[in-house]
Copies of this chain bind each other. A is one copy, B any other.
Amino acid sequence: MNDQLKGATEVEPSWVTVDLAIFTVRSERLMVLLIDRGRQPYLGQAALPGGYVRKNETLRAGALRELREEAGIDGSRLHLEQLGAYGDPPRDPRGRVVTIAYLALGPDLPVPVGGTDAEHAYWAPVSDITSATVRLAFDHSDIIADALEEVRRKLEYTAIATAFCGESFALSELRRIYEVIWGQPLDPSNFRRKVLNTKGFVQATGEQRLPPTGRPAALYRPGEARLLSPPLLRSNGHGT
């Protein structure tokens, strides 16, 4: 935004991209959408979907476009927030590349269809990346690690967990989101009490759903609250 140094010798033009960490919960695991790169560098290696920001396009619009183009996902119903900028030292003779990472959260999304290119898009367990089982292109492993930390913390003091659920959901589904992402079981009764006592977290639809077995569950939809106060904390301390 400032132009004080424009034209100074050390200044160079840059390329700005957006990369997307798209999270969902599938089969009891937190998954992230990956693509296999169809070109250099890192040809054939797994990476986050993303691409160059176009002229006259806001960063957010670019993220939404990539979401659609590379993952075949309509972003209008997803939670989408900016994670931050990653601008490691240049590795391309054409100039520096700075990527703006976006975090997208959605309900158990359909297996993505192939993107615009011949790139294969698929869900991978986040644990495979954080445990370094899968090695990603660029610094995408770092981005996913940051995204995971962000999600874990935000589950505590915001209502984003509902972004992983569909239009309506049972409290046990919402609780499963927490359990999967935090990697720890929660007491069903205490969770229910906490969620229902937090004004605006969820809103009863009045409908019910029959589980495969057991008592019918009341259904809820996301409430208007964005922040939870007091927050829903993990039992053991999460810091020092």
Of the 9-residue stretches A84-92, A187-195, A205-213, which lies at the interface with chain B? A84-92
A17 contact from B1, B10, B199, Cβ within 8 A: B1
A16 contact from B37, B51, B56, B96, Cβ within 8 A: B96
Is A12 a contact of B55 with CB atoms below 8 Å?
yes
The interface on chain A, measured as residues whose beta carbon lies within 8 A of the other chain's beta carbons, has a size of 73
| Interface membership of A11, Cβ < 8 A | yes
| Interface membership of A78, Cβ < 8 A | no
Bound Cα distance from A138 to B3, whole angstroms: 11
Is A229 a contact of B233 with CB atoms below 8 Å?
yes
Bound Cα distance from A173 to B10, whole angstroms: 42
Is B226 a contact of A1 with CB atoms below 8 Å?
no
Chain B contacts of A1 at CB under 8 A? 17, 19, 47-48, 50, 86, 97, 99, 137-140
Is A40 a contact of B239 with CB atoms below 8 Å?
no
Interface readout for A72-112 with B: 1 if CB under 8 Å, 0 if not? 00000000001011111110001111111000000000000
Residues of chain A in range 20-72 having any CB-CB distance to chain B below 8 Å: 37-41, 47-59, 70
Closest residue of B by beta carbon distance from A138: B1
Residues of A contacting B: mostly: loop
Instruction: Give this chain's copy count.
Output: 2
The smallest C-beta distance from A153 to any residue of chain B, in angstroms, reads 8
Chain B contacts of A38 at CB under 8 A? 4
Is B239 a contact of A53 with CB atoms below 8 Å?
no
Bound Cα distance from A48 to B3, whole angstroms: 11
Chain B contacts of A85 at CB under 8 A? 59, 82, 84-85, 98, 100
| Interface membership of A216, Cβ < 8 A | no
| Interface membership of A238, Cβ < 8 A | yes
| Interface membership of A240, Cβ < 8 A | yes
| Interface membership of A2, Cβ < 8 A | yes
Question: Given A11-B52, A14-B16, A239-B228, do A58 and B87 touch, yes or no (CB 8 Å)?
Answer: yes
Closest 3 CB pairs of A and B: A227-B239, A13-B13, A10-B54
